[in-house]
């Protein structure tokens, strides 16, 4: 199995001036292509920090992080933006759709940053919205959509640039159980079609559906096990 | 995909400013634009009016008053008075063919001018006939200026300043053809001067005097010493060498050191108009700076709004960054937005200022002493260009600094839970 994510002795220290907080104390993590990984842990465990590092929103204080074979250390902000654009698709708990533009325009944003031509952008956005079952609502603004629908738009947006990994941060945290199950269904389908997904959650039900569960506590990985079945 | 395409697409899709806020921002810029435009227009009007008033005295003129020598010369001590004669003007003209003209002036102060039973005390000036063109004495319709025949035949004719004509005849058009007694000798009025607003004055304003041929004056008053000699050159550059040559010629005739600048008191109008031009540029710069500062306050308003907008859209910016937006794609839509507000405010300001200046153009200047001096506010292309450049710079700066803060947003920090 080919490794998409390779973290070696990753540390992250937040220097607030007075106090230094070590959020991650040496993480070693390999995630292979086609895995559906749940990262679980209590709040304050370093989950969010790990998610920021995985998504290239932040860089580690020390350690080596390779995403799709590409070194993430020592790059400029703009290069980091480019890596995010090509390799990471984000799904957030609070959706983070831009409220004043339509669903389709939201899905088109990563394509715009990726340098895709306008017609191709529209075609792909339409295709992806169809795939998450929102093809007919392409011209709705996020405020005109339900939470579950918004999250589906966000998933379509995350898929737009055909990234190496989908990084979901508590994707069902703001949804009722039905919509949550819906979203989880989509994730499972994506996984079955060969996508690599990393889901950060504290929801045990969600974690049970992952092929692998990584637990962190106090900045360290405390357990890493594979589930027999995920369906 | 070009950067421009990305920036424009992002600009079009970025959220709109609240109407009230946008309006206030635009109004602040419009206000500043109106201020700078009106001040500059006022300065331009003043400049043009002063230029017109200056030209009403005449152009490329130098007036020479008799003085006293201050240097010893060929055995003669300093302190000798120099008293030029009327014919010196003719001599200068003959010896300096490059001069446009040279004339002498003689004045009889407080002379009785009588028409019928009415007597007015006025200034009677006698001059060579080239005085008319040099000193901008143009006749009102129906009149004429002193001609060669008047001079040769020592005719008793008089040309009146318009104010003096009104004093005597009430209506200046009633004067031509009338007989006026000057020191009890009858003179025929041949013309009345067209109204002009004059800035440079020696002896008194032209509108208050009467001019008679210098030959007539000599025979009636029996004086042949000139009050002043006036030379007119063909160009402003010719003035300095001409004055030097005049002193050489007169120095030889009256025996004084040609470098002695006290032998004649000299008013070089070319030189003094240069000084005035410098002063006017200074005034315009001052007005421009005052207006510019007002405009900058508007710019600070735009920057302030943009900072607030950046703060409000922090999450939006963070999302775009997470999706792969580079710094320039964050910065430029903001700058563009600031430029749009500045541009709209500027356009509004220019429209209002143009309307105001046009409206002020309808206020009559005639008879209004203040307006005759200040002139009408005038907008020129240069003013438009200067204002546009200042607006552009202000818009760029007002957008750039807030946008830089936007580009410094940490996406990781903004995207964390609600």
Orientation angle between helical segments A147-159 and A118-131, nearest 10 degrees: 130
Distance CA B354, CA A102 (A): 42
The three-state secondary structure class of B369 is: helix
Beta-strand relationship, A196-201 and A88-91? unpaired
Alpha carbon A146 to chain centroid, angstroms: 21
- Distance from the Cα of residue A52 to its chain's centroid: 9
- CA–CA gap between residue A25 and residue B280 (Å, rounded): 73
Element (H, E) at B191: strand B185-192
pLDDT digits (tens, 9 = 90+) for B211-222: 999 999 998 888
Does residue B18 carry a pLDDT above 80? Answer: no
> What is the C-alpha separation between B205 and B57, in angstroms, rounded?
9
pLDDT value at position B13? 74
Query: What is the mean pLDDT of the segment spanning A196-209?
Result: 88
- Asked whether the beta carbons of A83 and A72 are under 8 A apart, the reply is yes
B331-381 per-position pLDDT tens digit? 999 999 999 999 999 999 999 999 999 998 888 776 677 777 778 888 988
Contact B122, B164 (CB under 8 A): yes
DSSP B306-356: HHHHHHHTHHHHHHHHHTT--HHHHHHHHHHHHHHHHHHHHHHHHHHHHHH
Is B324 close to A82, i.e. CB distance below 8 A?
Answer: yes
Q: Which residue of chain B comes nearest to A105, CA vs CA? A: B13
Calculate mean pLDDT across residues A34-40: 94
- Helices B19-57 and B269-312 cross at an angle (nearest 10°) of 180
Which residues partner with A58 through β-bridges? Answer: none
Average pLDDT over residues A162-174: 92
DSSP state of B141: T
Nearest to B324 among A99, A100, A113 (CB): A113
* CB atoms closer than 10 angstroms to residue B380: 14
DSSP string, A180-228: HHHHHHHHHHHHHTT-EEEEEE--HHHHHTSSEEEEEETTEEEEEEE-S
Give the gap in angstroms from C-alpha B400 to the nearest C-alpha of chain A. Answer: 18
Cβ atoms of B417 and B317 within 8 Å: the answer is no
Across the interface, whether the CB atoms of A98 and B415 are under 8 A apart is answered: no
Q: Are A110 and A161 in contact (CB under 8 A)?
A: yes
CB atoms within 10 A of CB B279: 11
Pairing of strands A36-40, A70-71: unpaired
Segment A133-157 mean pLDDT: 93
Which chain A residues are within 8 Å of B16, Cβ to Cβ?
100
Provide the whole-model pTM. 0.77
Lowest mean pLDDT among A150-159, B245-254, B255-264, B355-364: B355-364
Residue A231 has pLDDT above 60, yes or no: no
The DSSP secondary-structure symbol of B225 reads B
3-state SS, A63-125, equals EEEEECCEECCCCCHHHHHHHHHHHEEEECCCCCCCCCCCHHHHHHHHHHHCCCCHHHHHHHH
What does DSSP say about strands A88-91 and A36-40: parallel, antiparallel, or unpaired? unpaired
- Average pLDDT value for chain A: 91
Please give the helix or strand (H or E) that residue B109 lies within, else none: strand B101-115
Confidence (pLDDT) at B19: 80
Q: In terms of C-beta density within 10 A (0-12 exposed, 13-18 middle, 19 or more buried), how is residue B80 classed?
A: middle
Mean pLDDT along residues B138-149? 95
Helix (H, G, I), strand (E, B) or coil at B244: helix
- Summarised one tens digit per residue, pLDDT across range B313-341 is 899 999 999 999 999 999 999 999 999 99
* Number of Cβ pairs < 8 A linking chain A and chain B: 76
d(CA B302, CA B299): 5
**Residues of chain A positioned with their CB less than 8 A from the CB of B333:** none
Give the C-alpha separation, A66 to A60, whole Å. 11
- Is B73 strand, coil or helix? strand
What are the residues of chain A with a beta carbon less than 8 Å away from any beta carbon of chain B? 48, 52, 55, 57-58, 77-78, 81-82, 84-86, 90, 92-94, 96-101, 105, 109-110, 112-117, 157, 161, 170, 173
Min Cα–Cα distance to chain B from A223, Å: 25
* Of residues B6, B410, B417, nearest to A112 (C-beta): B6
CA-CA-CA-CA dihedral for A190, A194, A195, A199, to nearest 10:
70
Tell me the ipTM for this assembly: 0.93
At B169 the three-state DSSP class reads: helix
Task: Say whether pLDDT at B240 is over 70.
Answer: yes
| CA–CA separation, B136 and B79 (whole Å) | 36
Which chain B residues are Cβ-neighbours of A48 within 8 angstroms? Answer: 416
Q: What is the DSSP string of A159-180?
A: HTT--SEEEEESTTTTS-HHHH
Whether the pLDDT of residue A230 is over 50: the answer is no
The average pLDDT across A160-169 equals: 94
Measuring CA to CA, how many Å separate A199 from each of A45, A53, A205, A227, B8?
15, 14, 12, 15, 35
Strand partners, A201: A40
Of A9, A5, A4, A3, the C-alpha closest to A64 is A9
Q: State how beta strands A62-67 and A70-71 pair.
A: antiparallel
**Cα–Cα distance, B343 to A35 (Å, whole number):** 53
- What mean pLDDT is predicted for residues B78-84? 92
Task: Evaluate whether A103 touches A154 at the Cβ level (below 8 Å).
Answer: no
Distance CA A10, CA A52 (A): 12
Mutate to test the interface with A, among B322, B332, B337, B408 (most CBs of A within 10 A): B322
Cα–Cα distances (Å) from B165 to B158, B210, B288, in that order, read 11, 9, 43
Chain B nearest C-alpha distance from A3 (Å): 23
The pLDDT tens digits for B185-199 are 999 999 999 998 888
- Using a CB-CB cut-off of 8 Å, the residues of chain B touching A58 are 410, 412
Out of A85, A98, A114, closest to residue B316 by CB: A98
CA dihedral A64, A214, A88, B319 (to 10 degrees): -110
DSSP code, position A229: -
List Cβ neighbours of B246 (8 Å cut-off, separation of 6 or more): B64, B92, B96, B229, B231
> Which of A6, A10, A107 minimizes the C-alpha distance to A62?
A10
**Residue B194, helix vs strand vs coil:** coil
Instruction: Provide the 3-class DSSP secondary structure of residue A1.
Output: coil
For B54, B120, B322, B403, the CA distances from B329, given in Å and listed in that order, are 57, 82, 13, 10
Shortest Cα–Cα distance, B404 to chain A (Å)? 14
Q: A43 to chain B: nearest residue by CA?
A: B417
pLDDT beyond 50 at B418: no
Give chain A positions within 8 Å (CB) of B415: 57, 90, 92, 96
């Amino acid at each position: 199995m080919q490794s998409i994510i390779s973290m070696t002795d990753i540390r992250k220290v937040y220097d607030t001036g007075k106090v230094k907080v070590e959020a991650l104390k040496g993480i070693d993590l390999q995630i292979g292509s086609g895995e559906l990984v749940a990262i679980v842990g209590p709040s304050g465990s370093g989950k969010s920090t790990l998610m920021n590092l995985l998504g290239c929103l932040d860089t580690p204080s020390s350690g080596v992080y390779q995403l799709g074979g590409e070194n993430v250390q020592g790059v400029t902000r703009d290069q980091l933006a480019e890596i995010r654009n090509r390799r990471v698709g984000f799904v957030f708990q609070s959706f983070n759709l831009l409220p004043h533009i339509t669903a389709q325009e939201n899905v088109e944003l990563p394509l715009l940053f990726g340098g895709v031509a306008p017609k191709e952008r529209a075609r792909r956005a339409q295709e992806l919205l169809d795939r998450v079952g929102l093809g007919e609502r392409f011209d709705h603004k996020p405020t005109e959509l339900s939470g579950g629908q918004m999250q589906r738009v966000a998933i379509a947006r995350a898929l737009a640039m055909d990234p190496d990994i989908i990084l979901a941060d508590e994707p069902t945290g703001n949804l009722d159980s039905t919509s949550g199950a819906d979203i989880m269904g989509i994730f499972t389908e994506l996984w079955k079609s060969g996508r690599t997904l990393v889901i950060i959650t504290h929801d045990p039900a969600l974690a049970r559906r992952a092929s692998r569960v990584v637990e962190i506590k106090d900045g360290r990985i405390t357990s890493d096990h594979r589930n027999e079945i995920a369906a | 995909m070009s950067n421009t395409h990305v920036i424009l697409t992002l600009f079009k899709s970025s959220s709109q400013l609240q109407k009230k806020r946008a309006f206030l921002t635009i109004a602040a810029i419009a206000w500043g634009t109106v201020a700078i435009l009106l001040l500059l227009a006022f300065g331009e009007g003043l400049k043009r009016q002063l230029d017109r008033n200056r030209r009403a005295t005449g152009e490329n003129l130098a007036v020479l008053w008799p003085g006293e020598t201050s240097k010893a010369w060929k055995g003669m001590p300093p302190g000798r008075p120099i008293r030029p004669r009327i014919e010196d003007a003719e001599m200068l003209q003959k010896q300096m063919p490059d001069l446009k003209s040279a004339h002498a002036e003689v004045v009889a102060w407080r002379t009785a001018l009588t028409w019928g039973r009415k007597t007015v005390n006025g200034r009677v000036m006698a001059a060579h006939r080239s005085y008319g063109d040099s000193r901008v004495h143009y006749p009102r319709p129906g009149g004429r200026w002193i001609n060669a025949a008047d001079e040769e035949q020592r005719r008793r004719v008089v040309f009146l300043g318009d104010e003096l004509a009104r004093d005597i005849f009430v209506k200046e058009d009633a004067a031509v053809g009338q007989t006026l007694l000057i020191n009890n000798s009858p003179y025929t009025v041949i013309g009345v001067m067209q109204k002009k607003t004059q800035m440079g004055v020696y002896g008194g304003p032209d509108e208050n005097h009467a001019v008679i041929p210098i030959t007539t004056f000599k025979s009636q008053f029996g004086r042949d010493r000139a009050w002043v000699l006036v030379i007119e050159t063909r160009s402003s550059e010719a003035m300095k060498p001409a004055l030097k040559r005049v002193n050489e010629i007169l120095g030889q005739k009256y025996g004084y050191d040609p470098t002695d600048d006290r032998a004649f008191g000299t008013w070089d109008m070319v030189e003094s108009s240069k000084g005035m031009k410098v002063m006017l540029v200074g005034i315009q710069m001052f007005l421009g700076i005052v207006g510019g500062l007002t405009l900058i306050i508007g710019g600070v308003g735009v920057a302030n709004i943009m900072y607030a907008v950046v703060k409000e859209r922090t999450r939006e910016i963070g999302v775009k960054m997470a999706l792969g937006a580079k710094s320039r794609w964050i910065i430029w839509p903001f700058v563009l937005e600031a430029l749009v507000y500045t541009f709209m405010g500027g356009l509004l300001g220019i429209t209002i200022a143009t309307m105001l200046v046009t409206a002020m153009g309808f206020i009559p200047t005639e008879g209004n002493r203040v307006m005759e001096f200040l002139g009408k506010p005038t907008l020129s292309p240069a003013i438009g260009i200067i204002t546009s450049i200042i607006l552009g710079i202000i818009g760029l700066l007002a957008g750039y600094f807030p946008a830089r803060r936007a580009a410094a947003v940490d996406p990781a920090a903004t995207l964390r839970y609600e």
